Structure 1
């Protein structure tokens, strides 16, 4: 369960019989192909009357009139790889590795936004490489100067109301 509802992992998939069982044990009524944004999936839809009468329907779907549908990757192997990867993402080791990637992504984003890293000013691999090296050096220098600089706190002039409240007229 994710949050307070049922996610895809709560449903038992029977690939041989092309059926999906809900967390309550109800078996899906329709199994068929689905195409989303040019990619192939398998969609398992539950019977509408059974789904509407389910006691945990509010945890399964937000739709008031339509039954729950579960979209799966087109093959059992791909589905199992995805499920395994999603379980792996819950471990501390994976999250620590991803935190490193997030830091690298932030650096790349900074270089792209501030230094125009997406477009090269030169032709040829050697000159483009030199531009990338210089861009990386500029980013490092910017970060070092930001780290060294001691940001001075901003002092505001006190307003008349402040002066009246504190008694320093």
Structure 2
């Protein structure tokens, strides 16, 4: 598949016709968050088979711009996705689980809804589930990842 769909609520318990947007190959995980701080939710999608992350900026009135892609590394297969302010600059950053390498990738928000290159950290599992929360009480977001077919969870503490 190379599309995602948006169904707008008609306000009466029904939805308007689907609007599709073209992604890279294999859209796997999706998140809605205001990445460019304009008060409108944008779409972030992990395109597993294309080894990239796509961002669709909200253009208003329920429409989105075309996809802007950011590579996650050759054959990295981003399987997990979270969006959180990792570097405490009040801008949401992208966190992806890189299934093939057993790493967590961080793409820092450079402002205006654009992102820098991925920085990868060893996870110890092939991440397929992920969450971001302050688990050690230091007011910094930590990354928690779980993998497929392993009996372990990885916690990356933000130092």
TM range (shorter): under 0.3
Q: TM-score, normalised by structure 1?
A: 0.23
Larger RCO (alpha carbons 8 Å, 6+ apart): 2
> Which is strand-richer, 1 or 2?
2
